[in-house]
Structure 1
């Protein structure tokens, strides 16, 4: 049918490219703060807020942008998010060029402002989830979204690993200019290959809702957008949404937070170089957590999101416990790897559960879970910094007690959903048995 464009595979590629480009902003200041900190004379808490600021917009804009995909289409919304990100990076570059003419306080606030704008790209996660979800049937969404989120999540790890080298070869401003060029290039690629789902394309061509849905069904589309405001309200009223928000706050928000925090932990607590810290954070932790999310999506499809989330939060608790006890490089690396495995798999498991518990409100639920859940990336780095400020150097290790607490809460919530799911299955079995018995009597 020539009146529609795109297909599942190309749309998955387009969404993943856009998410990868925007999500790199998680690492916006994680490494460069070590160059900015002495220039602006920042203390550890001020530096932590700078590192976390991209997550302000990255977290909270997920909710409206994800819901708006239902009304405006993912192509338009994702392009808008990438454009705002480009403006943010341009602002950072402009501010760095003007550092000599600005006071420390003025420069700090401008970097916070433009960091927040650049962080809009992080919010592509939820709008992209919604965008991809409408291309895939429910039974394949775990794998598709695992690929989307897993590969897209590699961006902070890759950028964290290469930025130290970019700083050495290009300097602080040159590193951000390279970032800008990459972001513009990826935006162009997305615009060229990214299309909305068949249903929304047909609506834009003037078909009625019924005719567009009928034609889209014939083309293989199974999941359809609904009213944005209605899906958000519906998702808010369901208690399962808030369990998923908390679980995602722990795994994904916690993942973002450690991607930002680990460079400081490695350099100031363990005492290694910035380049080594970039490799341990970007490759060993962030990239591993991102890639294993793909496996998490597959496992969630095969064994169920509830069962996999129970397993993954248990692993996270073990890893966090190791980090509290770790005072040497090998021990700390072990804890980091275990935490990465637990968080990466948990991220996939939670988003397998979103369409399962919110089938009539995918857009609204994705925005709430992704938006409020990822707020952990904003809140946790300053919390970890306060541990150090109050307790001194030992606070670097004791701060991981926060992850044990969050892991235990998320583990309990996973068990609650597991019990809820099995009670529902048992009711269905009773109904089926009763129906079969009644049919036998009738015959």
Structure 2
């Protein structure tokens, strides 16, 4: 039998570590933006865009990088994403080291540009999903991807909590230097530990497609790369996929946005210290959101994704209403906890529904939902900043009406999906349901 490297557990572990490192870029400017705003005399809108910029590349690069896994292999693609992130953090460090000699305008543009490069690590989510999927049989996909997404998503929360202490002990440049070293170490680990799936390894060794599949199946591989172009095209034709994009835009994109925005909310509106803001954002909100994705997946399996989506977006909406009317630390903490629970469960529910509505285009649908959906992290922070610009300080609370409106829209879409498909057994796709009805006739 042909010699191949790696196994599914190593594949899952290496991908999760890489995603954890890359996804930490969600917190790239969330805490340090206060110091940068003071140094560069930034307006609220400029702060909003600086906070959002890593999420731009992190969102839209998910689609092409995920597709490239089928052609290049997951190892090469993820290494490229990590390398681009390292370049971005390197540029941030160099800019900060020379910030005194740069004009505020030039320094701001450089931080935007290098922040965009660093945000490439966020896009590892989709390429990692594809990478892990090829390692695991279908019956273990839910568990494997739940572990991957759940633990990888804890990165923003952990880093948001750590950075304030790094700022105190290491200073602004030292905090980013520590981040840079962490990325270097993870990249080296991934380089030596990870391997492409058996099928792609064998193709690179010169085996024919048929022979590579046969041998890979003997090793236990069940899912194989397909045409990235076709799966994207098929997914784009399904209106259900576009509803899931909107739902994910609100839950996951909204999660990314608040991870960046909440430090500003806590310090500027509630008046806590930057260290306390890091804990409230990183541990209380971001980490909790990530961890609730795990039971959210279980509940979606048991009760159906549509039902859980309705409930979770209802929870999110209720939390946003608390934030609108809160003016105090305790009530705002309760509000963000409620929002975290709703968002975490909703994120799991959306990806539970994805294979149901796009069973023949899961890869393409994952790229579209994960990529376009996460764009909420780009558009929501500037919207929140705009509300502050209009209403002043009270705008920090009033801005959460954005989440209330989005939450109500999501509840409506989820109810629509439930009444159209939810009364059928939730594992059955709309296409298969239609086939079964035709056969019954």
The CA distance in 2 between the partners of 1:73 and 1:359, in whole Å, is 23
Instruction: Tell me if 1:304 matches 2:304.
Output: yes
The CA distance in 1 between the partners of 2:14 and 2:216, in whole Å, is 20
The CA distance in 1 between the partners of 2:291 and 2:19, in whole Å, is 14
Which residue is equivalent to 2:421? 420
Which residue is equivalent to 2:143? 143
Give TM-score scaled by structure 2 length.
0.95
Label 1:413 to 1:148 Cα distance change in 2 as closer, same or farther (>3 A).
Answer: same
Give the conservation status (yes or no) of the 8 Å contact 1:323–1:335. Answer: yes
SS at match of 2:6: coil
Report Cα offsets for 1:68-108 as digits up to 9, x if no partner: 11111111100000000000000000001111110000100
Please identify, of 77-86 and 65-74, the stretch whose mean Cα deviation from structure 2 is larger: 65-74
Matches within 5 A, 1:85-96: 85-96=85-96
The CA distance in 2 between the partners of 1:135 and 1:414, in whole Å, is 32
Which residue is equivalent to 1:180? 180
The CA distance in 2 between the partners of 1:44 and 1:65, in whole Å, is 33
Which residue is equivalent to 1:320? 320
Which residue is equivalent to 1:218? 218
Please identify, of 187-196 and 408-417, the stretch whose mean Cα deviation from structure 2 is larger: 408-417
Please identify, of 113-122 and 405-414, the stretch whose mean Cα deviation from structure 2 is larger: 405-414
Label 1:138 to 1:309 Cα distance change in 2 as closer, same or farther (>3 A).
Answer: farther
Label 1:317 to 1:139 Cα distance change in 2 as closer, same or farther (>3 A).
Answer: farther
Report Cα offsets for 1:367-424 as digits up to 9, x if no partner: 1111111111011001000111101122111111111111122222223333235464
Which residue is equivalent to 1:81? 81
Which residue is equivalent to 2:167? 167
- What 5-or-longer segments of structure 2 have no aligned partner? 425-429
Matches within 5 A, 1:174-253: 174-253=174-253
The CA distance in 2 between the partners of 1:54 and 1:14, in whole Å, is 23
Instruction: Tell me if 1:368 matches 2:374.
Output: no
Give the conservation status (yes or no) of the 8 Å contact 2:57–2:123. Answer: yes
Report Cα offsets for 1:176-215 as digits up to 9, x if no partner: 0000000010111111222222222222222222222222
Q: How far 1:327 moved relative to its partner?
A: 1.3
Which residue is equivalent to 2:346? 346
Which residue is equivalent to 1:438? none
Give TM-score scaled by structure 1 length.
0.94
Label 1:429 to 1:133 Cα distance change in 2 as closer, same or farther (>3 A).
Answer: same
Label 1:122 to 1:426 Cα distance change in 2 as closer, same or farther (>3 A).
Answer: closer
SS at match of 2:29: coil
The CA distance in 2 between the partners of 1:359 and 1:137, in whole Å, is 16
Label 1:367 to 1:428 Cα distance change in 2 as closer, same or farther (>3 A).
Answer: closer
Instruction: Tell me if 1:105 matches 2:118.
Output: no
Give the conservation status (yes or no) of the 8 Å contact 1:290–1:344. Answer: yes
The CA distance in 1 between the partners of 2:305 and 2:219, in whole Å, is 29
Label 1:252 to 1:201 Cα distance change in 2 as closer, same or farther (>3 A).
Answer: same
Which residue is equivalent to 2:427? none
SS at match of 1:42: coil
